[in-house]
Amino acid sequence: MKIKGKNLLSQFDEQFILLNNLRVSTEQLIRVLLNKRNINPHQIISRVKDRKSLEHKIINKNYKYDSIEEITDIVGIRIITYLEDEIDLVASIIKDEFDIDIENSVDKRLLDADRFGYRSLHFVAFYNNSRLKLSEYSNFKKIKFEIQIRSILQHSWAEIEHDIGYKGEFEIPDSAKRTFFRVAALLEQADIEFVKLKNEIAEYESTVGEKIKSVPSTVEINKASVISYLTNSKIVTEVEDRIINARKDLELDPIEELDYILDDILIKLNDKGLNTISDIEKLYIDNKDKFIEEQIERFKNNYDLIGFIQGATLLWLLKS
């Protein structure tokens, strides 16, 4: 190996602890930034390029680097989102919170219209002056790092592509290229369809409450409709308030905690042949007073029972 390359590797060895600190701090910071914006990625992973990989890169690039600072991907952060439409949300946060080397960043999602394959957003980033003023980041001045953002399906394709050793259009036969691009196209279309599905579910959840109020007999039973009903129903609120108020130290936990018994509720609704929200409403109406008396008596002297989750009364009704 040329002396120039050996010098670069020596610089890498000398700065390894600093580079690893940069990796850890940046990954932690990104997790905090995304959490503050209520973005929950599938995975965030980071690495410092290993010495052997760095040596190969230096050789493959024909020793063009004069210093270790010119190699912008020694530290890498990868953010894997669940869906493709979350990539731009994450990207906007990264651009707000870090300085971006636009010249060396690339959006690999922008393929030619007739081509399919590796798709990912790559930023070359560095800490901005305001953050460098903080003691925990002050040592990272002028050190660049790479941030990759991709969806689960894009990540899956990248891993498969790497595993089968596809490197360029001249390295596989035409018959294999057709298969390669066909599979890539299927994954790209799947990404699009999952985004559509998410939006369709969100639209349903935003409108199901009004449908329950106006025409409950037409609203089928599913997780979204049951949660909406239990959250907003006046009769459910009345039932639960009367049980809670009968013993002053009882607590009503938020409906967000109902999830772990929701599947049980749906199974029992199905077992009893209840199909629409109006069927649930009738169940409460027909059994309300007797049910409340039974539950008040159950809680009256049993101090092991300190409360219940909003909506859990439906499960008790179904079991009674």
Token reading at 256: 């967000």
The reported pLDDT for the residue numbered 215 is: 93
Q: 0.75 exceeded by the pTM?
A: no
Does residue 181 surpass a pLDDT of 70? yes
To the nearest whole number, what is the mean pLDDT of the chain? 89
Neighbouring residues of 299: CB distance < 8 A, sequence distance ≥ 6:
243, 246, 247, 250, 305
User: Is the pLDDT reported for residue 27 higher than 90?
Assistant: yes
Distance of CA 313 to the CA centre of its chain: 32
- The pLDDT of residue 113 is 45
* Of residues 149, 111, 104, the one with CA closest to residue 125: 104
- Continuous segment of H or E residues that includes residue 46: strand 43-48
Q: Is the pLDDT of residue 266 over 90?
A: yes
168 pLDDT more than 70: no
Place 169 in a pLDDT band, splitting at 50, 70 and 90: low
Dump pLDDT digits (tens) for 271-294. 999 999 999 999 999 999 999 999
Phi and psi (nearest 5°) for 209? -60, -45
Higher per-residue pLDDT: 186 or 161: 186
249-260 residue pLDDT tens: 888 899 888 888
Say which residue, 95 or 171, is predicted with more confidence: 95
User: What's the pLDDT band for 114 if we cut at 50, 70, 90?
Assistant: very low
Q: For the chain, which domains are there?
A: 3-190 (3.30.460.10), 215-319 (no CATH)
Task: Compute the distance between CA of residue 272 and CA of residue 264 in angstroms, rounded to an integer.
Answer: 12
Q: 295: helix, coil or strand?
A: helix
Residue 272 is encoded by which pair of tokens?
């009893």
Supply the DSSP symbol for 306. -
How many CA atoms, within 13 angstroms, populate the side-chain half-sphere of residue 108?
18
pLDDT digits (tens, 9 = 90+) for 199-240: 998 898 889 989 999 999 999 999 999 999 999 999 999 999
Handedness of CA 228, 232, 234, 238 (dihedral sign): positive
Gyration radius (Cα) of the chain, Å: 28
- Compute φ and ψ for 275, nearest 5 degrees: -120, -25
CA distance 55 to 49: 10
Question: pLDDT per residue over 115-151, tens digit each?
Answer: 445 678 999 999 999 999 999 999 999 899 999 999 9
Residue 2: the pLDDT is 78
**Nearest Cα residue to 166 out of 188, 181, 147:** 181
